[in-house]
Structure 1
Amino acid sequence: MNWQAIKVSDNNTHFLFEGKAIFDKNFIEVLKFHSPGIAPVKDISGAYHIDSNGNEIYQNRYARTFGFYCNRAAVIENNQWFHINEKGERIYSNYYLWTGNYQENRCTVRDLKNNYFHIDLLGNRLYIEEYSYAGDFKDGVACVKSQDGLFRHINQNGNLINNKSFLDLGVFHKNFATAKDAKGWFHIDKNGDELYPERYMFAEPFYNGFALATKSDNSKLIINEQGGKICTL
């Protein structure tokens, strides 16, 4: 059975293939299948993972399980978060108050002191710095919030990609990111330089060269990558 064609029911209790229920079983909760064809499920015995034939891939049970990313899945056991591999084996000995999903072979975690940082596929820390928040990596760059309350961008080694800091920050999308300073939202390049002088109440990432921006009076307009106003909505 092609796992990519298996869908989750509207009430998240069973799986569908070509519109028909499969595996002859309803669960308390199911999540979608992820590569290499494994899905998180929960029944009265607990949370675990199944393959595309509906068979459990290990005997352990958890409070909750999440999807596989980079061949790693986040699980919760006794309020402790960590990652397992496709055999159900624990990847590392540490546990956390929260873990994200691996992206680009790296994962953001929150430790017992509520500090955020990133770990590699074996659970090793990528850098010594600790943050009050750290987001997922996208195209080799992640947003982090430092203890001073400001956001910055780091690379996969934990180094700052520029010397700029902001009140809020988005990930880079096609070489540009959204950023916020004391005057409002705008867009920056990878040097942290503004693309234009205007500020908005909110600005979305650029989509094929254009972005939706919201002015202080809640009116909306489309701008280009130079900040030019294309049309109002």
Structure 2
Amino acid sequence: MNWQEIKVSADNTHFLFDGEPIFGKQFIEVLKFHSPALAPVLDISGAYHIDINGNELYKNRYSRTFGFYCNRASVIKNNRWFHINEKGDRVYSVYYLWTGNYQENVCTVRNDSNQYFHIDLNGNRIYADSYVYAGDYKDGIACVKSQDGFYRHIDLNGKFINNKSFVDLGIFHKNFAIAKDKNGWFHIDKSGNELYNKRYLTVEPFYNGFALVTEFDNKKIIIDENGKTEIEIR
């Protein structure tokens, strides 16, 4: 049985293979399988993970479990968050107020001081700074909000990739990111330079060279990477 073909039922209480229930059991809640073929489940005993045969991975129970990413899963016990590995063992001894999912072998976490930063697969900080907020890495770059209230992009060493700061910011997608200044939303390149001088109420990332944006009168248009209007969405 290919674990990637196992689906979650519409009511999120059991698993399906070829459209038929498997494991002979319903749960309170299930989430889908992730590599290495493990899935989070919740029943009356608590939250835990099962393997591709429906067997529990470990005896421990948690208040909540999440999917595996990079062979690490976030779990909650007594309102404290941490990660376990694919054997069900704790990866590190520190507890957090919140943990994200590992992406590109690093993960964003929030400590007892409500500060965000990133840790590696062993739970070690990958840089010394802490932030008001830190998002997931994508292609080696993450968005962070500094203590001054502005957003910036950092690399895997925690260094700013340029000297630009923004009111709000998104991750890079196909070399461009969405950004906001005091006048509105727009798109930038990896140097932090605007692609055009117009601002919008909202913007979406570019999709194969074009992006849906909303003007301040709520009119939606499609623009190209130079900011030129392609069509109006009526």
| Shared fold (TM-score, shorter chain, > 0.5) | yes
In 2: Cα distance, 1:228 partner to 1:196 partner: 9
Residue 165, structure 1, aligned to residue 170, structure 2:
no
Name the residue aligned to 2:130: 130
In 2: Cα distance, 1:36 partner to 1:96 partner: 24
Name the residue aligned to 2:9: 9
Please list, as runs of the form range in 1=range in 2, the aligned pairs for 1:1-233 lying within 5 A after superposition.
1-233=1-233
Q: Matched residues, percent identical?
A: 72
How much does 1:180 deviate? 0.2
Secondary structure, counterpart of 2:173 in structure 1? coil
Give CA-to-partner distance per residue, 1:137-174, whole Å, 9 cap, x none: 00000000011110000001100000000000000000
How much does 1:214 deviate? 0.3
TM superposition score normalised by structure 1: 0.99
Q: Which amino acid aligns with 2:227?
A: G
Q: What 5-or-longer segments of structure 1 have no aligned partner?
A: none
Give CA-to-partner distance per residue, 1:51-97, whole Å, 9 cap, x none: 11100111111110000000000000111100000110000000100
How many aligned residue pairs are there? 233
Give CA-to-partner distance per residue, 1:13-71, whole Å, 9 cap, x none: 00011111111101011000001110000101110000111001111111100000000
Q: Which amino acid aligns with 2:144?
A: V
Give CA-to-partner distance per residue, 1:175-217, whole Å, 9 cap, x none: 0000000000000000000000000000100000000010000
In 2: Cα distance, 1:220 partner to 1:135 partner: 28
TM superposition score normalised by structure 2: 0.99
How much does 1:121 deviate? 0.3
Cα root mean square deviation, aligned: 0.5
In 2: Cα distance, 1:198 partner to 1:101 partner: 35
Secondary structure, counterpart of 1:187 in structure 2? strand
In 2: Cα distance, 1:8 partner to 1:161 partner: 40
In 1: Cα distance, 2:32 partner to 2:191 partner: 38
Q: Which amino acid aligns with 1:14?
A: H
How much does 1:105 deviate? 0.2
Runs of 4+ in structure 1 over 6 Å off: none
In 1: Cα distance, 2:210 partner to 2:156 partner: 28
Q: Which amino acid aligns with 1:99?
A: T
Q: Which amino acid aligns with 1:181?
A: D
